[in-house]
């Protein structure tokens, strides 16, 4: 198959960052793939595409309206239609659905979270197959979006990598280093993490004196979150680190990972932390509701998030040995359920479904109509 992989942006995030891993599986099965990007945003995912040698076309150098992206992508498809349009994230999915319908090209679409924009819910039948990045999202597609089970495939978007460098374990001396990683966006609830640190100062000054909190990532709420940190006089306790390029090194600097999100899909960042051997304190959203087993691999935040974060921090500072137990269990869980080979096996099954359920009986695009797709293009 000749596949167009259509993504909303080059923004640094889970869905964009895992593109090289997805492409490797698709290429290993003999398919040809070119990435098309609607708009640049922060372009933090771009170096990963270049390093992996993945051909891509950035269709606009600035924020693009849906209509403009449809127009630009339609020109591409009209000139040389692919066998399949594969979309990722809401903006690109609607563009792909519209252009696919114009030219009779089948569309398959990722669903990365248990949340949906209204226009995607209304147009869900325009995608021939939906690919869930986790079991939780597969259930959401069926129960909340009304997608028939036969039009849902699952490809958990996490492939753990092992590290030979052991994590530092907190023994109760020195600061307990607590961290999180994600886009500074309302979805992540980082304002509540900051407010929990302030609450801890009032409720348990001793525990407060023993912690340091950092948040790795960038996004639209950075100025607002920094202002909140300053207004609460937490500049010495909470640090916004900005974009971190070496995530394994960042995780090795921590003793505890937190993820207080409103919603998630797979939540690659938290599972990376688990794979590194960190205990995780998280809201029961997305795949985390299954991965975080209370008292075994981490702590689930039920009810009020601020109160839950305070209680979890107080409990773990009082019992440092639990950090080691939870962290080792978390690492073992990830290795057992998402270990070596699972990512590629799931990907191969999705491609088999696409070929049997979506492409069966459809003519392939003649080779003479296929342009070269090597190198990097910015239109």
Which residues of 107-210 form beta strands (DSSP E)? 107-111, 129-132, 152-154, 176-181
- Answer for the pair 306, 195: CB distance below 8 angstroms, yes or no: yes
Residues forming CATH 3.40.50.2000 domain(s) in the chain: 2-158+341-378, 176-338
Which CATH number, 3.20.20.370, 3.30.300.20, 3.40.50.2000, 3.30.300.30, labels domain 2-158+341-378? Answer: 3.40.50.2000
pLDDT at site 164: 63
For residues 57 and 249, what is the distance between their CA atoms, to the nearest angstrom?
31
- Answer for the pair 373, 121: CB distance below 8 angstroms, yes or no: no
What is the full per-residue pLDDT of the chain (379 aa) written as tens digits?
999 999 999 988 777 878 999 999 999 999 999 999 999 998 989 999 999 999 999 999 999 999 999 999 999 999 999 999 999 999 999 999 999 999 999 999 999 988 888 989 999 999 999 999 998 899 999 999 999 999 999 998 887 776 666 788 899 999 999 999 999 999 999 999 999 999 999 999 999 999 999 999 999 999 999 999 999 999 999 999 999 989 999 999 999 999 999 999 889 999 999 999 999 999 999 999 999 999 999 999 999 999 999 999 999 999 999 999 999 999 999 988 887 688 999 999 999 999 999 998 777 655 444 443 433 454 4
Nearest to 343 by CA among 355, 351, 332: 351
Residue whose token pair is 């696919």: 100
For residues 251 and 272, what is the distance between their CA atoms, to the nearest angstrom?
8
Q: Where does residue 339 rank: exposed (0-12), middle (13-18), buried (19+ CB within 10 A)?
A: middle
pLDDT at site 168: 81
pLDDT at site 160: 78
- Answer for the pair 97, 137: CB distance below 8 angstroms, yes or no: no
pTM for this prediction: 0.81
- Answer for the pair 58, 80: CB distance below 8 angstroms, yes or no: no
Cα 73–Cα 77–Cα 83 angle in degrees, nearest 5:
125
For residues 134 and 287, what is the distance between their CA atoms, to the nearest angstrom?
6
pLDDT at site 167: 80
- Answer for the pair 314, 296: CB distance below 8 angstroms, yes or no: no
Tokens, residue 43: 């372009």
CATH of domain 176-338: 3.40.50.2000
For residues 270 and 247, what is the distance between their CA atoms, to the nearest angstrom?
12
Q: Which residues contact 356 (CB under 8 A, 6 or more apart)?
A: none
Q: Residue 41 CB: number of other CB atoms within 10 A?
A: 18
């Amino acid at each position: 198959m000749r596949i167009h992989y259509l993504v909303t942006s080059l923004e640094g995030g889970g869905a964009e960052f895992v593109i090289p891993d997805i492409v490797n599986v698709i290429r290993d099965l003999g398919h040809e793939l070119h990435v098309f990007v609607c708009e640049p945003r922060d372009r933090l995912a771009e170096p990963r595409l270049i390093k992996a040698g993945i051909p891509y076309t950035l269709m606009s150098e600035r924020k693009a309206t849906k209509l403009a992206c449809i127009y630009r992508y339609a020109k591409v498809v009209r000139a040389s239609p692919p066998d399949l349009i594969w979309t990722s994230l809401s903006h690109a999915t609607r563009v792909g659905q519209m252009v696919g319908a114009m030219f009779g090209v089948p569309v398959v679409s990722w669903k990365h979270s248990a949340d949906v924009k209204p226009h995607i819910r209304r147009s869900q039948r325009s995608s021939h197959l939906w690919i869930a990045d986790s079991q939780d999202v597969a259930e959401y597609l069926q129960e909340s979006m009304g997608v028939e089970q036969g039009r849902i495939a699952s490809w958990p978007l996490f492939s753990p990598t092992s590290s030979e460098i052991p994590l530092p374990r907190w023994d109760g001396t020195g600061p307990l280093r607590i961290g999180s990683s994600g886009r500074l966006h309302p979805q992540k609830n980082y304002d509540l993490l900051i407010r929990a640190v302030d609450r801890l100062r009032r409720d348990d000054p001793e525990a407060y004196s023993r912690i340091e909190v950092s948040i790795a990532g960038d996004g639209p709420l950075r100025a607002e979150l920094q202002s909140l940190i300053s207004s609460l006089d937490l500049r010495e306790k909470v640090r916004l680190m900005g974009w971190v390029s070496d995530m394994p090194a960042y995780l090795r600097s921590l003793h505890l990972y937190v993820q207080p999100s409103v919603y998630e899909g797979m939540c690659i960042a938290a599972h990376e932390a688990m794979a590194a051997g960190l205990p995780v304190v998280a809201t029961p959203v997305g795949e985390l509701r299954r991965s975080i087993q209370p008292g075994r691999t981490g702590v689930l935040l039920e009810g009020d998030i601020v109160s839950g974060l305070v209680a979890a921090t107080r409990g773990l500072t009082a019992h440092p040995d639990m950090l080691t137990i939870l962290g080792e269990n978390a690492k073992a869980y990830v290795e057992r359920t998402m270990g070596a080979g699972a990512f590629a096996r799931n990907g191969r099954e999705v491609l088999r479904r696409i070929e049997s359920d979506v492409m069966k009986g459809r003519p392939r695009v003649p080779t003479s109509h296929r342009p070269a797709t090597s190198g990097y293009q910015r239109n």
